């Protein structure tokens, strides 16, 4: 069930420490995850080991040269080339989500190729890349942060990586809904009390309340997720209730106003 990640980057120093804490650290110690960082520059030739060059056709920025990237992929994978997914991290990739993390977690080995600058020469993609992933619709300076996100999200899905096996299942998105709110001691904090039901000891009521909170939050903040979620007849009835209430119609994506709490008590909608 273990997974090996090969991460190819021009900036291996960016990963310093990020896999040395918490769940990824424990998963590594348990042998569930192994991670090898490879500096693409080590595979560049010539006295200056140049890895980038100006784009044909002009325009700004630099493009990562194909030779060092191809050499790095081939050297790292060796005989395994063709059997291991070669994932390019790029804003042009398919969007990363819980489903994609699940899919990747079924692999035994993954190569994550971090792009930088304007991108990697297209021939690398044509010849060697088998998958392209983006972590969202915004531009990062490189794929490194995306690689970190993928390693962490995938590691959490490896059986045994989390102490509590129930934790993955109840996670936000695992069931297609946002999570219900969490509380711990004290029962009153700065005048804000923990919802009564959570102190009641009535387990069935607590389960029902949490489910409704998850549905309500998802309805308010991410109505797009509700269309995909597996909902029971009771869930659907509750969503119907929300729709029929005088709540403001949710927008497709949460707006600033939707999320505008802690503004001095003016707009505490959620």
The nearer residue to ligand 6GU, 115 or 250, going by C-beta atoms, is 115
If one asks whether residue 89 binds ligand 6GU (CB under 6 A), the answer comes out as yes
Q: Based on the shown chain and the rule CB under 6 A, indicate whether residue 9 belongs to the binding site for ligand 6GU.
A: no
∠ CA 40-85-165, rounded to 5°: 110
139 or 188, CB closer to ligand 6GU? 139
Measured from the CB atom, the residue of 140 and 174 that comes closer to ligand 6GU is: 140
Q: Considering the complex, what minimum distance in angstroms separates the CB of residue 92 from ligand 6GU? A: 9
**Which range binds ligand 6GU by CB under 6 A, 83-91, 175-183, 187-195, 252-260?**
83-91
* Residues between 194 and 213 that touch ligand 6GU (CB under 6 A): none
Handedness of CA 2, 145, 223, 198 (dihedral sign): positive
Task: Count CB atoms within 10 A of the CB of residue 252.
Answer: 8
Q: Are 219 and 250 in contact (CB under 8 A)?
A: yes
Q: CA geometry: angle at 228 spanning 86 and 155, to 5°? A: 40
Is the Cα dihedral 170, 172, 173, 175 positive or negative? positive
Count helices and strands in the chain by DSSP H and E runs:
10, 9
Exactly one of 116, 156, 216, 217 is catalytic; which is it? 156
Q: Which of 66, 68, 143, 250 binds ligand 6GU (CB under 6 A)?
A: 143
Can residue 260 be called a binding residue for ligand 6GU (CB under 6 A)?
A: no
Q: Binding ligand 6GU by CB under 6 A: which of 138, 163, 182, 232?
A: 138
* CA separation for the pair 102, 25 (Å, rounded): 20
**200's tokens:** 């009641």
Task: Answer yes or no whether residue 10 interacts with ligand 6GU by CB under 6 A.
Answer: no
Quote the least distance from Cβ 152 to ligand 6GU, whole Å: 14
Residues annotated catalytic, as ranges? 91, 118, 156, 171
């Amino acid at each position: 069930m273990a997974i090996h990640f090969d991460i190819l980057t021009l900036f291996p120093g960016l990963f310093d420490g990020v896999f040395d804490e918490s769940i990824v650290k424990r998963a590594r110690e348990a042998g569930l995850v192994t991670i090898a960082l490879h500096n693409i520059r080590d595979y560049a030739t010539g006295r200056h080991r140049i890895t980038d060059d100006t784009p044909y056709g002009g325009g700004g920025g630099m493009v990562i040269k194909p030779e060092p990237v191809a050499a790095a992929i081939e050297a790292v994978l060796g005989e395994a080339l063709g059997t291991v997914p070669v994932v390019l991290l790029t804003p042009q990739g398919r969007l990363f989500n819980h489903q994609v993390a699940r899919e990747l977690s079924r692999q035994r080995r993954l190569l994550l190729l971090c792009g930088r600058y304007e991108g990697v020469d297209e021939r690398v993609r044509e010849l060697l890349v088998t998958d392209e992933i983006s972590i969202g619709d915004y531009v990062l300076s490189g794929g490194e942060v995306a690689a970190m996100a993928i390693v962490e999200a995938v590691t959490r899905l490896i059986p045994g990586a989390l102490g509590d096996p129930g934790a993955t299942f109840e996670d936000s998105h695992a069931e297609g809904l946002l999570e219900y709110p969490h509380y711990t001691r004290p029962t009153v904090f700065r005048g804000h009390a923990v919802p009564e039901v959570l102190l009641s000891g009535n387990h069935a009521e607590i389960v029902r309340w949490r489910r409704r909170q998850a549905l309500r939050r998802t309805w308010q903040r991410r109505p797009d997720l509700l269309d995909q979620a597996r909902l029971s007849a009771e869930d659907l009835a509750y969503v119907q209730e929300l729709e029929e209430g005088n709540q403001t119609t949710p927008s497709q994506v949460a707006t600033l106003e939707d999320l505008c709490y802690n503004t001095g008590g003016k707009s505490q909608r959620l």
